Chain A
Amino acid sequence: MSRGSSVSLLGVYKHFQTDAGPVQAVNGIGIEVAPGASVAITGPSGCGKSTLLSLIGALERPSRGRVQIGEVAVSKLDETDRAAIRRELIGFVFQSDNLQPFLTAVENVSLQLALSGADDGYERSLTLLDALGLGGAAGKYPDQLSGGERQRVAVARALVHRPALILADEPTGALDVDNSSVVADLLREAQAEVGATLIVITHDPAVAAGLDRQIALSDGRVTADSKPALSGAVDAAPHAGEVAGGV
């Protein structure tokens, strides 16, 4: 897929039970993200950012509300279908690069394609690493690469299947300033290249400022949005029937 998906959240809530009692991690969020947009989500630790990204990425289901990627209401899908959506439509980048230590860089990138049964995964991965200036790293194992190189390989892994949506959770959180800048630039360039929608959770103001739109969270709610006209009305409580799994 070469074009980004829209992302739509309508009256989304997520609560967890913990030993200390219930936690309302996401508390009535409504956001519309246009296809191909780049969005930074910021806010203090514990404000619900990572939970929100997990809901958008079909890693978790909301307690209430609706999450939609393009035309697909991912919050209503069962486990198998959500796994397929994650594989086919989404590229993930996390703070930890999560590269497999006994696979080379190019093998790590091709993992994403292997599960989709692509026959040319290795060649496509090699081509992408070359295009990203990482051709020299292709045959190396993760512990032979610097932290910045590993995270760039992880970005390549998130892109190689040309996802409609790239989700990055603190992708520069473990990097120094120079490497942060390289990885942030790479994400934006990659987004432009594949035309994907990009949503980045970040504590880094420089990373956030480089994206089209900035949304701030606090206590599981949106407290600031640089393009508020795109959200507003969808912050309302969910309608009956929008409860996850209820329809």
Chain B
Amino acid sequence: MADSGPALVQVEGLRKAYRDAGVETPVLTGTSFALGRGETVSMVGSSGAGKSTLLSILAGLMLPDSGEVRFDGEALTGKGEAERATLRARRIGVVLQRDNLIPFLTAAENVELASELAYGDRRADLARQLLAELGLAGRADDLPRRLSGGEAQRAAIAVALVNKPDLLLADEVTGELDSESARRVVELILAASAERGLTVLLVTHSPELARLAQRRLRVANGEVLEEADAEVIER
């Protein structure tokens, strides 16, 4: 369950626009929201609504034009590139739709690499333990090409979890999976949240999967809205 303490992520007045050949296209138009500690939150929205831009800012990959992201009380948007990279490596796990794994490294090596990069420590035992917890005990020495789509995404979750992050950003992680594999991947992410107190932001196109989270958000017209409020506006 979500902790009742201060939010892990606090977003205030976030604005971001893309500029191309003198034309400005606003993507985020001053949105504010928070993610509580240990909370699981889904986020839906049409393609181009700004979900990926928002995730890039939350991951510290991109800076907003204005507004602020506070992570555990500190202004992420006020940190330099190197500080944001360290924070991302140690405290934020990221899983994407595809290509999360390096193709010439085994599943276990991929997981070990994440801990090596964050802490200079390979944590081989932890890597195998995590893979086993995700149902991949017999797949640790397999290359990504040998894994099914669902197995590869579960291995990617192990990569994202090995550094014991506070926040997991999952961007369309089930976009290329069948419905059964997709549900299993999302359930594993939610179970990881329950066990570890991990805050999860799950971006998905699937309303069924979105409903598995404790709280639902929708991105529309550059704003992040609570899903219940968005439904009222649509009516």
Contact = CB atoms under 8 A, between A and B. Distances in A.
A94 interface: yes
Interface string B55-94: 0000101000000000000000000010001001000001
Given A59-B143, A102-B61, A102-B94, A115 B104 contact: no
Interface string A142-155: 00000000000000
B166 interface: no
A86 interface: yes
A230 interface: no
Given A98-B99, A102-B59, A139-B81, A115 B143 contact: no
Q: Which of B85, B99, B102, B103 has the most CB of A within 10 A?
A: B102
Question: Interface extent on B, as a size class?
Answer: 20 to 34
A103 B81 CA distance: 11
Interface string B96-128: 100100111110010011001100001000000
A104 interface: yes
A83 B103 CA distance: 12
B106 A59 contact: no
Interface in A44-101: 57, 59, 79-80, 83, 86-87, 90, 92, 94, 96, 98, 100-101
B117 to A, nearest CB: 6
A141 B63 CA distance: 13
Contacts of B81: 139
Contacts of B104: 57, 59, 86, 90, 92
Contacts of A103: 85, 117
B102 A111 contact: yes
A156 to B, nearest CB: 15
A115 B112 contact: yes
Contacts of B59: 102
Contact of B116 (A80, A92, A115): A115
Interface in A118-145: 139, 141
Interface string A20-34: 000000000000000
Contacts of A59: 104, 143, 145
B3 interface: no
Task: Determine the main DSSP class of A at the interface with B.
Answer: loop
A216 B102 CA distance: 29
Contacts, number: 52
Given A98-B102, A141-B61, A104 B109 contact: no
Contacts of A117: 116, 122
Interface residues of A, number: 24
B127 to A, nearest CB: 12
A115 B96 contact: no
A111 B117 contact: yes
Given A92-B103, A102-B61, A111 B113 contact: yes
Contacts of A92: 103-104
Contacts of A107: 85, 117
A30 B20 CA distance: 54
Contact of A115 (B85, B88, B113, B145): B113
A236 interface: no
A102 B88 contact: yes
A177 B46 CA distance: 35
Contacts of B143: 59
A49 to B, nearest CB: 15
Interface of B: 59, 61, 81, 85, 88, 94, 96, 99, 102-106, 109, 112-113, 116-117, 122, 141, 143, 145
Given A111-B117, A115-B116, 5 more contacts: A83-B105, A107-B85, A111-B113, A139-B81, A141-B61
9 contacts: A59-B143, A59-B145, A80-B141, A87-B105, A90-B104, A101-B61, A103-B85, A104-B85, A107-B85
The 4 lowest CB-CB distance pairs between A and B, nearest first, are A79-B141, A92-B104, A114-B116, A102-B94
Interface of A: 57, 59, 79-80, 83, 86-87, 90, 92, 94, 96, 98, 100-104, 107, 111, 114-115, 117, 139, 141
